[in-house]
Amino acid sequence: MRIIAGRHRGRTLVAPPGDATRPTAERARQALFDMLWHAPWGGRTTIQDQLVLDAFAGTGALGLEALSRGADHCTFIEKGRPALAALRANIAACREDPRSAVLAADATRPPPARVPCGLVFLDPPYGKGLVPTALAALAAAGWIAPGALVVAETAEEDPLDLPGFTPVATRSHGAARLHVLRAPGEGC
């Protein structure tokens, strides 16, 4: 697994042993970031200079990809110890410590945010219905800026109904489905 584009292009990322962490596949990440960058509802400003939240961060591949492509800062939320070790190693290997914060926390019960984020990634374990729970908790804790783009990855067959969030795009990549949503409110 590696960073696809930007200043860290080609950088190899480590993953914890076992199957508890399921990093987003390189092809799916490439397609997602191409969509964010080039879609009519997207553009460079969806990534560049944004404050990013990578919840259920795992290896940090999504947040590090955003940093590599010009995001200003990324906060990573992860609770698994092996994943936290891999995440911290990946941030250090990319030398992104100054533009990163790692919170050893549960994304369904996050700590209060210092500032809201304009780009939010949610990649929880499949089949557990965690996206709606985490999204509600993150919004209540102030993590999601008005009008932010939210990217949620689910299993292909997992339904996703998020009242208040406007669906912008949905794409399937193998067993994964990527949902891009717009948070309520103006901004970003």
What is the pLDDT, as a whole number, of residue 10? 84
> In 3D, which of 87, 83, 127, 128 has the Cα closest to residue 108?
128
Averaged over successive runs of 10 residues, the pLDDT of the chain (188 residues) comes to 87 78 71 90 92 96 96 97 95 97 97 97 89 95 96 86 88 87 80
**pLDDT at residue 155 in the model:** 85
The structure's pTM equals: 0.92
CATH top-level class for 26-182? alpha beta
Q: Residue by residue, what is the 3-state secondary structure of 122-180? A: ECCCCCCCHHHHHHHHHHHCCCEEEEEEEEEEEECCCCCCCCCCEEEEEEEECCEEEEE
Distance (Å, rounded) from C-alpha 121 to C-alpha 21? Answer: 15
Task: Return the amino acid letter for 4.
Answer: I
pLDDT of residue 86: 94
> Within 10 Å of residue 50's Cβ, how many Cβ atoms?
24
> What residues does each domain of the chain span?
26-182
**In this predicted structure, what is the pLDDT of residue 30?**
87
pLDDT (0 to 100) of residue 23? 61
What per-residue confidence (pLDDT) applies to 26? 73
- CA-CA distance, 97 to 148, in Å (whole number)? 24
Fill in the DSSP letter of residue 185: S
